[in-house]
Amino acid sequence: MGVGRRRFAEPLGIRFGIEPSRALGLMAKDRRIEVIRAVGELDPIKAATYQMVVMITVLCFLKKPEETFREIHRILMHDGKLLVARIEKGGIIAERYLARPDKGRFLSHAWFYERDEVIRMITGTGFDITSIDCRLGFCILTFHKSDDV
């Protein structure tokens, strides 16, 4: 989701992504990443297609995060995995980015969340938390798809 400039997708070997921005999607395509132009809330992918979804600094730009997580639940296979890497509200990284004019303008559209708020949001859409790793205001949360929805 949000394959964007491919900054994380390419080094991680991710070859498929969703991107709402035409310009950023073209950048990813230039790096041989297959892109569907869409938003996470209205995902055109058929149900139970993927084993894993990775979201790196995407959550803060979602307009309707719960709808996006419901769609991710739908497209994941049985016992699929979700990895959400994010900047923590009030953390060192968020404060530094917001103070920089070159980053602050871009991140002025971002909505940062606290860890517990994110966990409640995602577990409320059919996932169970499996791990938490937060350092210096950057958190990596992993979840697995629950069949109890």
User: What pLDDT sits at residue 1?
Assistant: 52
Q: Where are the domains of the chain?
A: 1-38, 43-145
Contacts of 60 (CB under 8 A, 6+ apart): 86, 87, 107, 110, 111, 112, 113
CA distance 147 to 13: 28
Name the token pair of 6: 């491919």
pTM of the predicted structure, to 2 decimals: 0.89
Q: What is the mean pLDDT of each run of 10 residues along the chain (149 residues)?
A: 68 85 85 86 89 93 94 95 95 84 71 95 98 95 86
User: What pLDDT sits at residue 15?
Assistant: 85
Q: What CATH topology corresponds to 43-145?
A: Rossmann fold (3.40.50)
User: What pLDDT sits at residue 93?
Assistant: 86
Q: Sign of the C-alpha dihedral, residues 121, 18, 44, 49?
A: negative
